[in-house]
Amino acid sequence: MAFDMNSFSLQGKVALVTGASHGIGMAIAEAFAAAGAEICFNCSNQASMERAVEKYNSNGIQVHGYVCDVTNEDQVDDLVSRIREEVGIIDILVNNAGIIKRIPMTEMSAEEFRQVIDVDLNAPFICSKAVIPGMIEKGHGKIINICSMMSELGRETVSAYAAAKGGLKMLTRNICSEYGKNNIQCNGIGPGYIATSQTAPLRERQPDGSRHPFDQFIVSKTPADRWGIVDDLKGPAVFLASDASNFVNGHVLYVDGGILAYIGKQP
């Protein structure tokens, strides 16, 4: 049987990408739009939502922006209902919204730990729970959780983030286990170190022209010998959102330039 390239198309699909006002979320939303999907996204405040809508529009992408706190179950339920009424039943959910607090564990308060867990783990649970009934009604659905290399590895100062992302990996597998029979595929993407505005200070050249120590560290640990860019995540995201991945479920696709496969260079 000939392979149908249309299986990668998202034409006619409704996608919700949480926290897609910039960075990885925006890149994924742009890729989905290019593949034919109708894009919905949320921000936590009106101003950032309006700025993001303007940016999408300036790039020729029509989007539906909403203000919603994804850690608030009532707000998320209302968001999903509004999207259903205004755009359609959600076919694709990307749980992208996230935060990180780099604080040594013994200096981190329980409240700070809970804040990270709330955004990075509880919110994907809340959003997934809200969209799954509509996906069951439609007879299909795709959920993509933005995991992390910290779903597999630990590092100093990121105890809450690693705990949340490790939990998100297992939530991904459990949604697969519970709703695979409903033709819902839940997978994760685990980005490596991605060059964004947030990581720019870590890549600045030193006064003597040398690389920042953290930049040196990351490149030395990456077989690809570079940082990733947000465009590196577009193809994997479209694949996991499309019919081309209909038998891929409960998997985390690490887009990390090979870091997790590599022991590192000998000193």
Go through 27-41 and write b for each residue having 16 or more CB atoms within 10 A of its CB, e for each that does not: bbbbbbbebebbbbb
DSSP state of 96: -
Catalytic member of 56, 161, 179, 193 = 161
Query: Which of 126, 74, 70 lies closest to 99, judged by CA?
Result: 70
Residue type, 141: G
3-state SS string over 136-169?
HHHCCEEEEEECCHHHCCCCCCCHHHHHHHHHHH
- Active-site annotation holds for 161: yes
Residue pair 134/84 in contact by the 8 Å Cβ criterion? yes
What spatial distance separates the first Cα and last Cα of the chain, rounded to whole Å?
Answer: 51
Q: What's the pTM?
A: 0.96
Give the sign of the dihedral formed by CA 61, CA 229, CA 90, CA 71. Answer: negative
Residues 94 and 17 sit within 8 Å (Cβ to Cβ): yes
Q: What is the pLDDT of residues 1-41, one digit of tens each?
A: 788 999 999 999 999 999 999 999 999 999 999 999 999 99
pLDDT at site 178:
98
Under 8 Å CB-to-CB from 204, ≥6 apart: which residues?
A: 212
**Is pLDDT at 100 greater than 80 in this prediction?**
yes
pLDDT for 151 equals 97
DSSP at 122: I
Tell me: the pLDDT tens digits for 159-201? 999 999 999 999 999 999 999 999 999 999 999 999 988 788 8
Residue type, 41: F
Kindly indicate the confidence band of residue 261, based on its pLDDT and cuts at 50, 70 and 90: very high
pLDDT band at 202 (very low <50, low <70, confident <90, very high): confident
